Structure 1
Amino acid sequence: MSQAPIFPGTVSASGRPATLGVMGGGQLGRMFVHAAQRLGYFTAVLDPDPHSPAGLVSHHHVQTDYSDASGLAQLAALSDAVTTEFENVPAGALQTLAGQRPVAPGAAAVAIAQNRIEEKSHFVACAHVSGVSCAPYAVIETPAQLEAVPAELLPGILKTARMGYDGKGQVRVKNAAELAAAWGELKQVPCVLEKLMPLKAECSVIVARGWNGDIVGFAPQRNVHVDGILAVTHAYESNMPAALALRAQAATKSIANHIGYVGVLCVEFFVIDDGSEHGGLIVNEMAPRPHNSGHHTMDACDVSQFDLQVHAMAGLPLPAPRQHSPAIMLNLLGDVWFDPQGQMRTPDWQAVLALPGAHLHLYGKLHARPGRKMGHLNITGADLAGVKATARKAADILGLPGLDGI
């Protein structure tokens, strides 16, 4: 597939400047908008929230539902190409837009990521190429399928097929009775039961693939989650064994190539204890967009994941990114805005911003609440020891979890 480049800073015969559109107005959309505007593009955001972080900084904000026909028509009229900032934008809306403008990633790829059943099937289908498969699993859509779950899949994690993220829609179960009760609690919606694997670590890989099949990517990040939400990302050369890092990179590119993906893709992996020296690798899930674990690229690399998102959708060359500094990314949830007694407070930004190599990114959200992603803090430096020491200081100042052992 090929796509004529949409060059920044150009103006059409009708007088409209080159404009890139995004479905979704959250923080990922905001950072995409900033990257596009830095290159000279105008931007358009479709999001129903009048105070959406991306809508507040974009040239155009279409305030409609994601499936609203008039809103989609308006976004198409404003934009030369369209992307998405989260995977739960209706695939049908992307398909509608694709009839008028280039859309990356396409509706078919996003639909796979929206449904864990489809996602698992995709991972299994390309395992012979990627060399990495997912954890053993069973699909549960009917009482008969529930009854037929093999005993060897327990203990496991029951996950809703749709709308689960940041630990939502997931229940750990030890036996058949707990499984049946959990499926009832989840309203008997279609689910996937995954066998609980002996986990050593979690990592992710971010790649960008162009319309012409060119593909580039970043080195794997090692991730630490707390209560199902990403807390810390370790992004430096020694963050995981080199052999596993190469396998994860190769697998991610294979997964993207298998469906002719266009845009930025993140694939998350588990490193499991399989008795080998460094452990085995299994694929967990994919996100058809930039990812929280890639935010370090904004300060530690010469090209960020958002820069690559712009390049890929606009048909521009994809430069191979280079990481110039070791980095640790700390996720800033709304909890930081509350003291131990639950009272609102302003985080001690004075102390945080005095730290060497501290890069604060806040998302412009007006209201903090526990568990809500409000921003992130990238720590970079000339050497890893200094980065780790600064990250520990920042975590102490802000009361952040997830830095055990560094």
Structure 2
Amino acid sequence: MKLGIFGGGQLGRMLAQAALPLDVECQVLDPTEAPCAAAAARHIHGDYADQHALDALTDGVDAVTYEFENVPVDAVKYVAARLPASPGATSLACAQDRAHEKQLFEDLGIDLAPWAEVDDFAGLREAVARIGLPAVLKTRRFGYDGKGQVVIRGADELEAAWQTVGAQPCVLETFVPFEREVSMIAVRSLSGETRCYALTENVHRDGILRQSAPLDGDALQADAEAALAKVMKALDHVGVMAFEFFVAEGRLLANEIAPRVHNSGHWTIDGAVCSQFENHVRAVLGLPLGDTATRGPCVMLNAIGEMPTTAELAAVAGCRIHAYGKAPRPGRKIGHVTLIADSSSALSDRLPALQAMMGV
């Protein structure tokens, strides 16, 4: 079998790596000269809006998917007219617009913080009057890793905040004094079967994910599973989806979805029976889904900007290394490691030294 992938970054790379043991070949469409996924897949150099490039991506493949949610919806619709493209354009369009996303949560009865659409500066003033401060102003489109958003704590900050986000359509949401940030990864098949991984606790700094660890048996597992099932069914989603939540006063508040494999699910490569990447490949190609059970205690740490040497990391017992083949650069995700152990106590003993090494 053969799979086409929009995007040749680290997620495309790990999808292609997971596909190989299934005897699935991958080819990626990416506009950069040497994307890191080219180490594991054939690279088609072209723009996502170029029809000739889209034709090349679909040539000889059984299905097409994407590694990130800023692929043009029209490009997905174009290839979907020729062969299966999953997740579909409906999921993609929803995830690209924070207002549509939040409205979906409300329509499905999923709890979230109070919010309002903001189309202009006058609308920002009206939204603040309605939901109060502090609040977070977020661009409706193209925000990730803390980009495209700003916290507003006082009325005197409105003008600066509006300029910071580029004076473009936004959503304003009440600032949530959360107890923790969690996410759940799930996968849905072509037939509608859904399987969920363990709820995962995440640690962010400067808007960038630094650490993720599965929480087997967490009291909020069932609530997160129910929310994901509602969203995936409503969108007729096929493949992996990530759902990020805030935990406030012991309950889940929806933050956002990602219609793809997700950084907070990287621990599944070494810590689950079947990884999110393999399960995504299985789902979009119509193969049976794999077991999402957690193998044992583990934690994933991102390498941001730089990464310790392979020799340094290899000396840490239970450390699984995943370098992405990307040049170091401040703020850039260039790899991750997953620490696994036989017990929670052993994991806790080893973790601080690895956190210090990784700068977490």
- If the length of structure 1 is used for normalisation, what is the TM-score? 0.86
2:31 equivalent in structure 1: 48
Check if 1:310 corresponds to 2:281: yes
Residues 150 and 164 in structure 2, CA contact (< 8 A), matched pair in contact too: no
Matched, 1:208 2:187: yes
How far does the alpha carbon of each residue in 1:73-127 deviate from its partner, in whole angstroms, 9 at most, with x for none?
1111131100000000111100000000100000111011011111111111112
Distance in 2 (alpha carbons) for counterparts of 1:225 and 1:396: 16
In structure 1, how many angstroms separate the alpha carbons of the residues matched to 2:10 and 2:230? 28
Distance 2:84 2:296 in 1: 35
Which segment is superposed worse, 242-251 or 152-161?
242-251
How far apart are residue 236 of structure 1 and its match? Answer: 3.8
Partner-residue secondary structure (3-state), 1:317: coil
* Separation in structure 1 between the aligned mates of residue 332 and residue 236 of structure 2, nearest angstrom: 33
Distance 1:295 1:95 in 2: 28
Which of 69, 79, 88 lines up with 1:106 in the alignment?
A: 88
- Please give the secondary structure, in 1, of the residue aligned with 2:86: coil
State the secondary structure of the residue aligned to 1:179.
Answer: helix
What is the correspondence of 1:31-70 to structure 2 with a 5 Å cutoff? 31-58=14-41, 60-70=42-52
Whether the 8 Å contact between 1:44 and 1:78 is mirrored in structure 2 is: no
Equivalent positions of 1:172-321 (< 5 A) are 172-237=151-216, 242-273=218-249, 279-321=250-292
| CA deviation string 1:253-306 (max 9, x = no partner) | 211112111110000000013xxxxx1210000001111010111011110000
2:282 and 2:289 in contact (8 A); partners too: yes
Quick one: distance in 2 between partners of 1:396 and 1:219?
26
Kept in 1: contact 2:188–2:283 (CA 8 A): yes
Does residue 353 of the first structure (1) align with residue 329 of the second (2)? no
Q: Deviations over 1:329-362 (max 9, x none)?
A: 00111144xxxxxxxxxx2432321111110000
1:322 counterpart residue number: 293
Runs of 4+ in 1 over 6 A off after TM superposition: none
Aligned partner of 1:261: which letter? H
- Computed over aligned residues only, the root mean square deviation of the Cα atoms, in angstroms, reads 1.4
Which residue in 2 is equivalent to 1:138? 116
Aligned position for 1:377: 337
Aligned to 1:396: 356
Contact 2:29 2:48 (C-alpha < 8 Å) held by counterparts: yes
Given that 2:11 and 2:67 are in contact with CA atoms closer than 8 Å, whether structure 1 keeps it comes out as yes
Is the partner of 1:101 in helix, strand or coil?
coil
Shift in Å at residue 150 of structure 1?
Answer: 4.2
Query: Does the 8 Å contact 1:219/1:249 carry over to 2?
Result: no
Unaligned runs of 5+ in 2: none
Provide Cα deviations, 1:33-82, integer angstroms capped at 9, x if missing partner.
Answer: 01111210111110011210112321x21100111110001111131100
Secondary structure of the 1:55 match is helix
Structure 2 CA distance for partners of 1:178 and 1:323, relative to 1, 3 Å: same
Q: What is the aligned counterpart of 2:73 among 66, 85, 91? A: 91
What code does the residue aligned with 2:77 have?
Answer: Q
| Alpha-carbon distance between aligned partners in 1 of 2:267 and 2:125, rounded to the nearest angstrom | 45
Percent identical pairs in the alignment equals 41
1:364: which partner in 2? 325
Tell me how many residue pairs correspond in the alignment.
Answer: 359
Q: Who is 1:149 aligned against?
A: 127
Please give the per-residue CA displacement for 1:228-258, whole angstroms capped at 9, x wherever unaligned. Answer: 00001122426xxx32222112211211112
Give deviations 1:311-342, integer Å, cap 9, x for gaps.
Answer: 10001111332211111100111144xxxxxx
